[in-house]
Amino acid sequence: MKRLRNKIAVLVLGLSLIISCHGLEELNENPNQIGSENVDPNLLVPTVINGVGKTVVSLGFGDLAGVMQHTQKDGWSSGHNAYDWSNDSHSWNGYYRLLTNNKTLIEKAENENLDFHQGVGLVMKAYIFGLIADLWGDAPYTQALRGDEGAEFFDAPFDSQQTIYEGIQADLKAANILLSKDQDSYFSIQDNQDILYAGEAAKWRKFANSLSLRYYMRLSEKEPEVARQGIRTIVSDPQTYPLILQESDDANMPYIGNTTSDSWPTNTKFDTDSQGAYFRIKMAKTLVDMLQELEDPRLGVWANKVDVPLVLDPGAPDGTDYVDENDGKRHVSQDIVDAYENTVGFPVDYDSLYVGLPTAMTFGAAYNLSEDVNQGTLNLHVSQLNDIYKEVSGPLLQARLMSAAEVNFILAEAAAKGWITGSAEAYYNEGIRQSFNAWQVEGAYDDYISGPAAYSAPEDIIIQKWISSWSAAAEAWFDYRRTGLPALETGQASKRAALPLRFYYHIDEIDNNSNAAEAIDRLEPTEFKGGDASNNSAWSKTWLLQGTNKPY
């Protein structure tokens, strides 16, 4: 395995050597560039999957977890908590580098009639371009990745978001066919190189169709008839369109844990700083409160209990502040609480079990009477992430590209809309069951589903889908934009009084691609555009949201 990882690392380096600032070119002057004629496609498969998996975690456990209030940071937090983004915040260059590698995979597979590898390449192409369209809107697509054909392709036109979504569906349909054969009919598969499904074509086929289902539901407000017909076609023919319906088929990429680059991002083995990522990231109060309201056992999987709960001693003399050795709690008098609340602007949270960090608060490091107000430190009165997130790898530390929980919630939403037969409640329950299975709390399912989490309205589906997207919050953001759910509120330090809707086009793209201006003009500004100089705002609507009145 060590020699294999070294080979992969060398391959990644070779494939990434020469990519211009556009993120779109393959310069044929580069003598070291690895093309389809001299590379083993089996080595490209883990390169692409690994890149996509780390991207999903970077988004869904990073800034978008802050936007969707799964987590908040109490240090170096402006991009995470307050969406203080601009046109130098998020670049798509890495996405197009992955697509360049993936293009080589597809070309090599086509040249050698490797249907499995071609199918995998099409699924990953759809996944990456889907992220680009979801995050930015219009983007280079039909003419992208052609820089090796001449300078005229360096400034690729920006295709419409609609065109990209249509191309995604076409690629996934083709992948479904390529991956529909008996396993024995495929050749040249190296199971250990497929770090997602170990070379099982049937599971990749389920992934392709589940991803297609995701993108049809993405259109539910913009083009409801297209969405309805697409979803109905898939669901009505399970033999032709098998789906990820069981947690065992989830598209999860594990972390290896040998180096910083292949370890879970909040690990404390390679990041030994006492103000490192693990100590900066806390669970958000929004999510903690919801999980407590629902008596949700996943809370204990994702967060630690507070180290030292707070207790108010109402009649205690002013200045009373001590930790009782008998109950392990910090006892404080009313004057200390009043002084804190007047300064910080948030009430003290006396919950003895779990305390989350409020949204975009100004003095996050001081929250809940913390005695260490340095940025990103251990707050004894706020829940830290569970200790599993200190590890470099583990059974629950996965890049979660797509899950059975998500698919069942999509089906629940489709049933609630009357687009498919079946019970919305039954699909909803199954979505929760599969999420519980994924987080290894399946034994608590029966009590949970008969308690406060029992299905009562279609809104419950999106709330549970939001919860289940923990560590993969990008998908929750995309759902929020089309539904307005959950009804999240901004905080006192938020850049605008509404959640953002997209990433800004990066300044490099604006300056170096003459087609960017047309794409920016096609964006629709909202009342929250603020001081942004053009329509290139995180608070502008892409094609998908225009005319839908969603989420605002």
Report the first-to-last Cα separation within the chain, whole angstroms: 50
- φ/ψ region of 254 (left if φ > 0, alpha if ψ in -120 to 50, else beta) reads beta
Contact by Cβ (8 Å): 108, 48:
no
Buried b (16+ CB within 10 A) or exposed e, 350-380: ebeebbbbbbbbebbbbbbbbeeeeebbebb
Contact by Cβ (8 Å): 138, 161:
yes
d(CA 470, CA 467): 6
pLDDT tens, N- to C-terminus, the chain (552 residues) = 444 444 444 344 444 433 333 434 443 344 344 455 678 999 999 999 999 999 999 999 999 999 999 999 998 899 999 999 999 999 999 999 999 999 999 999 999 999 999 999 999 999 999 999 999 999 999 999 998 888 778 889 999 999 999 999 999 999 999 999 999 999 999 999 999 999 999 999 999 999 999 999 999 999 999 999 999 999 999 999 999 999 999 999 999 999 999 999 999 999 999 899 999 999 999 999 999 999 999 999 999 999 999 999 999 999 999 999 999 999 999 999 999 999 999 999 999 999 999 999 998 999 999 988 887 788 999 999 999 999 999 999 999 999 999 999 999 999 999 999 999 999 999 999 999 999 999 999 999 999 999 999 999 999 999 999 999 999 999 999 999 999 999 999 999 999 999 999 999 999 988 899 999 999 999 999 999 999 999 999 999 999 999 999
Alpha helices in 322-417 (DSSP H): 334-344, 404-416
Contact by Cβ (8 Å): 256, 219:
no
Query: What is residue 304's DSSP assignment?
Result: P
CA distances 444 to 267, 295, 471, Å, are: 28, 10, 21
**pLDDT given at position 37:** 63
**pLDDT given at position 39:** 81
**pLDDT given at position 21:** 38
**pLDDT given at position 144:** 96
CA distances 536 to 67, 137, 145, 507, Å, are: 19, 11, 24, 10
Run of H or E including 73: strand 71-73
Q: For 338-362, give the DSSP string.
A: HHHHHHH-S-----SS--PBPTT-T
Q: Which of 404, 401, 416, 291 is nearest to 354 (CA)?
A: 291
Select the CATH number that applies to the domain covering 404-469 from these four: 1.20.120.840, 1.10.10.10, 3.90.1150.10, 3.40.50.150: 1.20.120.840
Count of C-beta atoms within a 10 Å radius of residue 447: 11
d(CA 324, CA 358): 27
Contact by Cβ (8 Å): 191, 198:
yes
d(CA 431, CA 533): 43
d(CA 464, CA 460): 6
Q: What is the dotted CATH code of the domain comprising 2-68+91-255?
A: 1.25.40.390
In which residue are the tokens 């990522």 written?
A: 277
d(CA 124, CA 99): 8
Q: For 230-288, give the DSSP string.
A: HHHHHHT-TTTS----SGGG-EEEE---SSGGGS-TT-TTT---TTSHHHHEEEBHHHH
**pLDDT given at position 56:** 98
Extents of the domains making up the chain: 2-68+91-255, 281-390, 404-469
Query: What is residue 388's DSSP assignment?
Result: G
CB within 8 Å of 427: residues ≥ 6 apart: 408, 409, 411, 412, 415
Record the tokens describing residue 212, joined without a space. 């297609």
The β-bridge relationship of strands 398-402 and 251-254 is antiparallel
Q: For 111-169, give the DSSP string.
A: HTT-HHHHHHHHHHHHHHHHHHHHHTSSEE-TTTT-GGG-GGGSS--EE-HHHHHHHHH
Q: For 498-535, give the DSSP string.
A: S---SPPPPHHHHHH-TTHHHHHHHSEE-TT-TT-SSS
**pLDDT given at position 502:** 98
